[in-house]
Amino acid sequence: MGRKIRQLKDIRIHSEGTNTLFYGIFIIIAIAVILWRLLDTKWPFWLFVIVASALYLAVLNFFRCPRRRFPGDEAEGIVVAPADGKIVVLEEVEEKVYFHDKRLMISIFMSPLNVHANWFPVEGRVKKVSHHKGNYHKAWLPKASEENEHADVLIDTPDGHTVLCRQIAGAMARRIVTYAKEGEDCYIDDHMGFIKFGSRVDVYLPAGSVPCVRMGQFTTGDMTVIAKMPEGETVFQA
């Protein structure tokens, strides 16, 4: 499947943060005005402004969304990082929900300081999208993959493989947003979704996939190649 060329918008702040940032600055200004006008001493006003500004800048940083394009010319057989973060799992596991066989599992943990937009890890066609309610264990724990609230996106690639990408809520995360739609073509430069405030993304790849990262390595979403899948038979063109 050839690379899809499209004009990307220069998005600096993710659309998921628009309401949060708008209402946040409105509340900060309202409280600051009240403190300034009602209190004779001004130190509560300045203390509030300093603390609120620091928190607002932290949230602003969280919702940043840099423009990116995968630097390679061909994406067939390539798996790119779906998120910024740190590799916390890199092992062969038995996937018991969809495949019921051995899969190469690569997990990326996102701290609150990372960009939290998620990209499609492979190009192909979205086969299934499902959301599962669950707990909110710390995202880097092994049990988080199965027990935490998560959203699954299954993607059929043109060379006959099926890849599972799982967005996982963490201890701080309380909202998973998934843009993937069943039956639609997907491309690695496109956003797959967004997870608010600390989380993790797992990728399950077919047996024979070769990892291109190591434990503890930091990744850049839509830029870092994390694995190469085995050659397969072309089944469709997206």
**What is the set of active-site residues?**
199
Nearest to 181 by CA among 162, 205, 158, 155: 155
Which among 84, 79, 226 is positioned nearest to 161, based on CA atoms? 79
Q: Which two tokens stand for residue 21?
A: 């940032």
Q: How far apart are CA 200 and CA 148, in angstroms?
A: 10
Exposure class string for 202-233: b at 16+ Cβ within 10 A, else e: bbbbbeebebbbeeebebebbbbbbbebeeee
- What's the Rg (C-alpha) of the chain? 20
Encoded tokens for 107: 């997990």
Q: Whole-angstrom Cα distance, residue 220 to residue 213?
A: 12
Among residues 190, 167, 164, the alpha carbon closest in space to that of 178 is found at 167
Nearest to 212, CA basis, from 27, 72, 94: 72
Cβ within 8 Å of residue 66, ≥6 positions away: 12, 115
